[in-house]
Chains A and B, each alone.
Chain A
């Protein structure tokens, strides 16, 4: 059994930007999908439902 990996603690700090970018990216994409779902729900709401609200 052997370990080929070297230990470079500073890499954690150097790669924190990927954590920031990744989390930002995922919230951005999910945000877009969320908005789209809200719009889809609003646009395709069954007619009876809309009529009920009007009354």
Chain B
């Protein structure tokens, strides 16, 4: 009889708090349809690893040796996240999903992607007031709005807060439709939000589409060698898509591969959400700093567009600057919806998507620059 309730005595109030957090993530995924592919496994995993003496994760004795058998989620963590394999493989899928066409057709849009990385560097300075520089840099990359980049940078810089960073990165990506609109509205007038932008689709040759990912990999590799795996895997996925002779592999990378990795990524991230590690004021601080990064990324893109408008004859709708935050394809859609709300006949989806895609490249480069600064 004792066997039935013995483990209940190991229950801690913090575990119950983590069940509630897991429940909220599952609710957001199912009810609010926010990044369900990640938030649902993370939410379920948060409950799974916070059961007393959970067999899903490894437990260690006070001398650091393994207590019993290794838990499967800890094994997955060591095999796929500690060595950055899962996020990199996911990048092949993401690269295969991205159509650089709108960006190649209007290369000027790339500037907005660069401007919208401001939040990363602003948060680096802000986080350095609380954490040492390597942890501050890892926290700042939450602003890349790109989970794989956050994981790779955090792991390479050996941050002690990788669990909170991963959760913040993916949660805020899911919350882009809630975070960005008020910031954009605060920084723009109704008149600015109604600016129409002509879109002329210039033809982009197949050769350009094929050479683009190869050249980007070489440039990024020469300038920020530490980020070459990130850029390289993203661009490899895109090359598979654009080469035209690997359609079946491209489809597999976009769907099956990306889905498989995502399932394991989400639930493996949850292995870092054990109550004793996660329920600290530091975690709350990191979540707050992640929000700062997203806010200043959005502001950076919008304000950059407004500055450009001071010099341009044909005005730019400053909202497209906000799409440079990466978070592909959500932030592009958010901006497009906001423009439609102001004027149902104003379509800026193509421009917003172009900026959004440039944000994806810029965020990886920003991660690479951060690594170049601090990886010694």
Contact = CB atoms under 8 A, between A and B. Distances in A.
18 contacts: A4-B280, A5-B131, A5-B285, A19-B121, A19-B125, A22-B373, A23-B114, A26-B114, A26-B369, A29-B220, A33-B110, A33-B215, A34-B107, A37-B107, A37-B212, A40-B215, A41-B208, A45-B203
Contact of B212 (A5, A29, A40): A40
Interface of B (DSSP majority class): helix
A33 to B, nearest CB: 6
Interface residues of A, number: 36
B220 A19 contact: no
Contacts of B104: 37, 40-41
Contacts, number: 123
Nearest to B116: A26
A18 B124 contact: yes
B373 A29 contact: no
B285 A3 contact: yes
B130 A7 contact: yes
B113 interface: yes
Interface in A8-27: 8-9, 11-12, 14-16, 18-19, 21-23, 25-27
Contacts of B103: 37
Nearest to B281: A3
Nearest to B300: A23
Interface in B109-151: 110-111, 113-114, 117-118, 120-122, 124-126, 128-131, 133, 136
A5 B207 CA distance: 51
B290 to A, nearest CB: 15
Contact of B280 (A2, A14, A41, A49): A2
Contacts of A49: 203
Interface string B84-125: 000000000000000000011001101101100110111011
